[in-house]
Amino acid sequence: MGMAGNTKSRTPCEAGTTEESQIMKRCTCGERPLVEEIQHNEDFSQYFVICDNCGSQSGTYNTAEFAIERWNVRIERMESKNDVCNR
């Protein structure tokens, strides 16, 4: 992926949790994405969401919650674009 640091953890989508910030939308390919943590050093980590099936991913952000939020916006935009194209 070309990202500096060590990828530390992979967390599956928490679909159905009660905290809105933790609910990730499925990828447009239908699979559940993962949250990955890149640990640059012991005081600094960044997070991104990735789909292992098709390789789609979010940008890299300072919190897992924000990475999930941005992933969801990306998926909503793609779904909206597909709805317009299919009419």
This prediction has a pTM of 0.71
Query: 34-78 pLDDT, tens per residue?
Result: 999 999 999 999 999 999 999 999 999 999 999 999 999 999 998
55: left (phi over 0), alpha (psi -120 to 50) or beta: left
Residue 18: predicted pLDDT: 37
Q: How many helices (H) and strands (E) does the chain have?
A: 1, 3
Residue 71: predicted pLDDT: 96
Residue with tokens 């969801």: 72
What contacts 30, CB < 8 A, 6 or more positions away?
A: 53
Q: Of residues 21 and 30, which shows the higher confidence score? A: 30
6: left (phi over 0), alpha (psi -120 to 50) or beta: beta
Q: Of residues 1 and 87, which shows the higher confidence score? A: 87
Residue 21: predicted pLDDT: 46
